[in-house]
Each structure stands twice: as structure tokens, then as C-alpha cells.
A and B are shown apart, each in its own frame.
Chain A
């Protein structure tokens, strides 16, 4: 997998004469190679890649791609299409509003990386290259040719910085690598997409539906990957494929369309999410779905506190815990000190109210602090909650939370006669227990999204952003900083408590150890904050995507084992270095973090 690194080396020798490719193949030949290689890749996925079904996903069948081959097929098809579009084939121009070359490079890289990953995984797992069938060799060769061909495509070579003759060898080395890096970056850069003329609104809505359907498909595929190799392959293909579409300008155009119909997009996204259980045959992945949704909802609540109001809260999971404990105690659990079994709506209110009270109690003394001090104090309160819950067991203190055993055997919910604990058959689809809770959680998520959107774009939301931007100026503008911050804190706490009430029923048991500051399983405070930062502060989609990734990756890649947290930390460091605004950039933050970038002159949509 080290072939990529050769690219900058070969480029070092080429003189900067405007627009040549990274490697010295004539451009027209490179284009032909890339397109042909893509086509051959597609063909190769119909061949057998290995002789035994021991490698998961059955790659032994001729004429029927399986497992990783499907991913390669998609990447190869994308490469071919973009290659044809780069020739200016009629009818494909819509694919590449921002120019085809950079997109073609990413698509070829995607096919190349996935194929070579598969080939190497087969060889490593089955013990040697001898296990490869000719199909694998064809695929490997085809993707390599396509990738090399794509690298030969011309691009605007940046002017290298001149040398300072007094530099030491090390500085010259740094300088050269800097220049090479700039060259590589330029090779993969694309132009700005042409703006989309307004289409008839039904066409735009159809496009939104299609985009959401693709998103659902990708998500369902990712959550349903059955073995490590397939998930890694999925991440590679999806990540680089997304980059290719982004470079092609399609993502920008889709964003334009969705921002014209925000309400339809949001509703559509919820409908798409609600379709998820219907794509599943059993409850196995709906379990993951509901846990992801809980995690994502809490992360979104945290985003109000951190993303809008700029209050760094490192103990946020405690509010989830308070909500879960409060709801579980009044829901008829045998280990609860109260002999109460309230209906669900009442339990939800109790949980949310308890979190609200707890949020105000913690917020009132701590919110007089700013910045890092607030972070440390909230971290402390988060731990105080966990330890207190652990100690209220009847020996160290009064018996309220049943200590480390927690509140267990929380009965399943029964909403309006609909028992969420058992399986239902609706229209031929089997909706299991976790799928039921998935729907319930989706409603909670919708509430949180609604609160986030509406409060963000209002007087109070503007006050939050103003406080985040410059507290002194905000005070001088008549904003009661403490009050406004306390509202943000309390709203965030209540929303987390809301999610906690459902979580208690999903997991049957509430124990203090579910609400750590940092642990290997989300949700915990560190992962929540990471989901917000990874996804993008101040956005709605950001924490949802960040939480999905942060939940799925540790869950799917069990082989990482003890290195999970290490890998996670490394990934965060890299992200902060290369994309500090997160995966989904809030337009404000994007400008904040990339000062040098050309700022768009207007923000079409006001509000946070």
C-alpha cells in the first residue's frame, strides 16, 4: 500500500512548466488508461479473486461479485463514468460540474486502494499470493493502471517557493517536502463548481429524495457489514468515493439544493431514517441503530452547549445519566427505591425535569467561569455524579441508586397499548424490540433537532453565538450573559435527560459505569465531545454523522482491541490538523479556521 508515496518523488524531478501530470505519461494516454483501467476493474469484479470461500464474502464465483468485490465494482464504475465524463461524453456533463480530473484521481484512488486492500488481505489471511486467482491479478493491475493514468492528468502546478541558499540540509529537506506536498495538493484540487440554475421544485425534491436514498443505502450497507475486512473496505471506498464526488462538485450542488428546501430535507432525512428498520430482516443491526441514535441525539444536545453557546462541557454524560436514573426509578423496576410505575410520558417528564434541575444546579455556580476553567469544573461534576450514584447503595449512603448494581430489570415500555418489548409484524416486515425503540428514539431525535434549529435561529440563539464570539461585547450589547448561558446549559441538560429516559428502557439496566468520562464504549463525555468536534460544531448533520462513525468504527473493528482509544486519539489529532472545522463544516467555523481561504462574500442563510 506504499505506492502512493512514490508519486511525490517522481514529481520532484519534473520542472514546473504549467500543467503536466504528476507522472510523466502524456495526458491523453493517461486519460485513456484511467478510463480503460476503470472499465477493466468493473469487468474484473465478475471474475473469481480467490479459490476458497475461507476469505469472508465468497470471492470465488465467476459472474457474480460478492463482498469487497461489490465495493470495487462501485469504485470502478465511478472511475469509468468520471473518465468518460472527462472526455466530454454527452449526457455525463452533469456528473462533473467542477471539472472531472481531480474527481477522476480520487475515484481511481478509491478503486485502487480498495482492490489492493482486498488483495493484500486475501494474501495475508490465507497465507500467500498463491491463493489469488487470475481475477485478483487483473483487478490489481487494472486499478493500478487506472490510478497511474489518473495521476498523469494535467493540473495547475503551483509555483515552488525558491530556496534560501543559506539553509541547512534539514531545512532544505523540509522545504522540498513542503513544495512537493503543495504540488500533490494542487494535483488533487478542483475548481469551484458552476452554480446550479434553479430547477423546477419537483425535480429538486426528487433529487433530494435520491440523495437521501443513497445516504440510507450507504448507511445501511455500512451498519450491515459482517466482517472487519468488508467494513474497512467500506470505509475506504465510501471515504474516497465521497471525496471524488466532492471534487466533482456534486456535493456542493446537492448542498445548494438542500439549502433551498431545508424543511423538506430535514423531514426527508427523518423518513429515510425511519425506513432503516424496514431494510433489516432481524433485530441485529437495529440494535446498533438505536444505540447510534441515542449517542447521536445526546451529541446533538451537547452541540447546543458547545457549538452554539461555546461552553465546553466535559461532564455532559452525567445529564444523560440523571435522566436515565430518574426515569428508571419511576418505571417500576424492582430495584428502585420507589414503588412507582408511571406511564412513559410521565417518566419522560420526570427524567427531563430531573436533568433540568441538575443542569441548573451545576450551571448556576460554574457558569461564572470562562473557557478552560468551566471545562475542568464540569469534568469534575460529571465524575461526582458517577461516584455519588455508585455510593448511594445503602452502605456508604442512603439506598437510592442501588450502588454499582444499578437499577436493573427495567420493564419494557408500553405506549398506548403498543408493547415495545415484543416483535411486531407490520405489512410483512418484522419489527423487533430494538426497531421499536429505534422509532421511539427517532421521535426524541426529532424533538432535539427541532429545538436546535428553532432556538439557534432566534433571539436566544443569536445571544448564544454572540456570547461565544465575544463575551464582553455581548454584555455591552445588553445580553445577560449568565442567564443566557444558564439557559443553554439547562436546555442541553434537559435534552440529554430526554434521551436518557429512553436509554434506560433500551438497556434494561442503569449502572454508574455507563456514564464515564472516557471509556471504550460510547456514549461517554469524551466521545460525545469528540462526536461534536469530529462532525462539526454548530451543525445538525455534523454530530449525527460524527456519532455514527464514532459508534460504528469501534463496534465493527473489534480487532483493534486495546488500541482502539489510541487509534481514536490519533484520528482526532489528524483531523484537528487537517480539518479543524470537522467533517461537516459550519460556514462560520470554516472561515474561522481557514483564515487564508477565500471567504464567500455572503452567507445566504442567516441564523446559526
Chain B
């Protein structure tokens, strides 16, 4: 953990307090009796990389799904650039929020280039008649889309594999392709759901560089991850979600030093007895977690 701080300090582009891109207020998601996300506030500013961490079943992906319109929050609202987000996921994408999935969801029988072209869907208009009649406008739009897609493949380093089937790519490159596909919709905010899951350290490093590069393009990034080294290297701000509630939010040092976070992850009280109140709180959290872990497992990390 020693490298963390240095990397963060040397990271380019100081966290400029830009305009608020994403503003989630009091988002609550209940499935029947189970409250997966409880009253979570989160803001993401432009030019910022924000991390979202938490133990398994904490409700991170559910929260993501609320942001992207796959779920409609039971309570609360999500604003993107001061507009309340519509409740349909394709409209959310059109508004400017793109996402990747925890379990890769590429169009596996399409080529790499076609996958990215599908991402261009919201930024192009050509409909059925245009496709059948093939006027000059159609060819122009197709060409522009193709060029933009090739640019993006270049950006993530898949340009040489444009004609491969998505299913034939190695795992790490599938992740990259998912990011390229999301970027094709020209988002203002990119949501990455565990982008380094299953990656080796080199690939994780490469993804880190990629996320910085995306941030430098002026796109805000919200990332869920379990790899703490990755998160603390990368993020300007980290929010911790436990039991569906936001426990802490702050920069890496704040979060790393927070006892409750460690308790939530390790599930045991600190050796040096903290204050009685805090101990009780930790114990309560622990007990509640034990209770809920069986319930939450049913609905946890569900992408649908």
C-alpha cells in the first residue's frame, strides 16, 4: 500500500472541482422486503474518477443499475447535468451515461468493429429507409461511424483486431472492447463495473492507464472495483457502500484509514479497543451483515 499515495500525487490533472455531472440523491432500491440500496447520495464532477467499493452484496451493482435505468429507484432521483434521468436504459445512454458490465456482455458473434459500431447507435440517426435507399447521407454517416469506431479501437489498442469475432478475443481484450463500445456512445460519464476482474497485474496496470486516458478526454468515470490497489491508485474520491448504505466518502487516505471500512471488509473489531460506541456499531454491522448475507446473495450483483 505504500505506492498508493505517490502514484496519486503524480497522477496528472489535479482534481479540478468541475461542474457536477452526476448527482444521485437519496437513491433507495427495494426488492420486496429487501433494501438493496438505502438512501445513497453520490456526486461525480467532471474530470473526476470516483471509486465505489464495498464487500460483496453491498449493493454496488444495484446502485449502478439504478443509475443506468435498468432499475427504477424506489425512492430518490438521479440527475445527469441537472436533468433527471429517464427510466429507460437506452435513454440514459442517449443522455450521456455509458456503462460496462461486471460479467462481460459483448455481442459475441459480431466482429470487434461491429460491436463498437453498435455503440454508435445513439449518435447516428439513419433508419430503415435510409438503409434501404442508400442515399449519400447514409454512406457519409456509415463512413463517419466507421472512422470513429476505428479511432476508438486505436485508443484502446484493438485496432489490429477489428475483424475478429468478439468471442475470440482474450479476456482482457474483451474488457477493453466493452470500454471502447461504451465510449462509442460519446458519454459524459462512464460507469465501469469491475473493469479489472480476472485480470493479471500487467493487464490491471494497462487498464489503469486506459482509465486515466479516458479521464483526460474529459469524461468523468465512476468505477466499481474490488482491487484496492487499483482503486486507490486511480480514484480522486472513493465511496464505500456497505449493506446498501454509504459508509464513508473521501480521498484514498480517508477511506483507507477509516476503521469502519476495515471492519466492514474484515468483519472483526480492531485489536486496540476503540470506543465502546464504535465497537457496538461494528458489532451491529457485523451481525446485520451475517443476517443479511444470505438474503442479499439472491439479489446481489445482478446485472439484469
Contacts and interface: CB of A to CB of B under 8 A. Distances in A.
A470 interface: yes
Given A474-B118, A477-B119, A602 B109 contact: no
A604 B90 contact: no
A174 interface: no
A463 B89 contact: no
A15 interface: no
Given A458-B138, A462-B114, A473 B121 contact: no
Interface in B90-131: 90, 93-94, 98-99, 101, 105-111, 113-114, 117-122, 124, 126-128, 130-131
Contacts of A606: 111, 113-114, 163
B291 to A, nearest CB: 31
B303 A462 contact: no
Contacts of A463: 118, 121
A458 B126 contact: yes
Given A462-B118, A475-B90, A599 B107 contact: no
A477 B93 contact: yes
Contact of A481 (B90, B132, B185): B90
Interface stretch (B164-172, B215-223, B261-269): B164-172
A487 interface: yes
A7 interface: no
A603 B168 CA distance: 11
A478 B122 contact: yes
B110 A462 contact: yes
Contact of B128 (A455, A479, A592): A455
Given A462-B118, A469-B110, A588-B110, A476 B89 contact: yes
A588 B108 CA distance: 9
Contacts of A499: none
Contact residues of A: prevailing secondary structure:
helix
B134 interface: yes
Interface in A155-179: none
Contact of A599 (B128, B134, B145, B168): B168
B167 A591 contact: yes
Interface residues of B, number: 47
B68 interface: yes
Interface string B64-108: 000010100000000000000000111001100011010001111
Given A472-B70, A472-B105, A588-B109, A478 B185 contact: yes
A307 to B, nearest CB: 12
Contacts of A491: 128
Contact of A472 (B93, B141, B303): B303
The range of chain A's interface size is 35 or more
Contacts of A573: none
Contacts of A602: 163-164
Contacts of A470: 105-108
A472 B182 CA distance: 14
Contact of B117 (A450, A451, A462, A588): A462
Interface in A555-608: 588-589, 591-592, 599, 601-604, 606
B114 A476 contact: no
Contacts of A466: 107, 110, 118, 121
B142 interface: yes
Contacts of B165: 588, 591, 599, 603
Contacts of A475: 70, 88-90
A461 interface: yes
Given A465-B107, A472-B303, A603-B163, A477 B118 contact: yes
Contacts of A479: 90, 118, 121-122
Contacts of B101: 473, 476
A455 B94 contact: no
Given A481-B90, A603-B163, A603-B165, A473 B106 contact: yes
Given A454-B131, A477-B181, A479-B121, A465 B126 contact: no
A137 B9 CA distance: 93
Contacts of A473: 101, 105-107
Interface in B225-262: none
Contacts of A457: 131
A591 B110 CA distance: 11
Contact of A601 (B94, B119, B132, B168): B168
Contacts of B120: 459
A480 interface: yes
B61 to A, nearest CB: 13
B111 A603 contact: yes
Contact of B132 (A455, A462, A472, A604): A455
Most chain B beta-carbon contacts within 10 A, residue among A459, A465, A475, A599: A459
A469 B121 contact: no
A454 B118 CA distance: 16
A459 B121 contact: yes
B110 to A, nearest CB: 6
B117 A476 contact: no
Interface string A223-258: 000000000000000000000000000000000000
Interface string A314-339: 00000000000000000000000000
Contacts of B167: 591, 599
A460 interface: yes
A484 to B, nearest CB: 9
A480 B109 contact: no
A589 B105 CA distance: 18
A477 B185 contact: yes
Nearest to A476: B89
A601 B90 contact: no
A592 B109 contact: yes
Interface of B: 68, 70, 88-90, 93-94, 98-99, 101, 105-111, 113-114, 117-122, 124, 126-128, 130-132, 134, 138, 141-142, 145, 163-165, 167-168, 181-182, 185, 303-304
6 contacts: A455-B131, A459-B141, A470-B108, A477-B185, A592-B109, A599-B167
Given A474-B118, A476-B105, 17 more contacts: A455-B128, A455-B132, A458-B138, A459-B117, A459-B127, A460-B127, A472-B70, A476-B89, A476-B90, A476-B101, A477-B119, A478-B93, A478-B185, A491-B128, A588-B165, A601-B164, A606-B163
Give the 4 A-B residue pairs with the shortest CB-CB distance, closest first: A478-B122, A478-B93, A458-B131, A473-B105
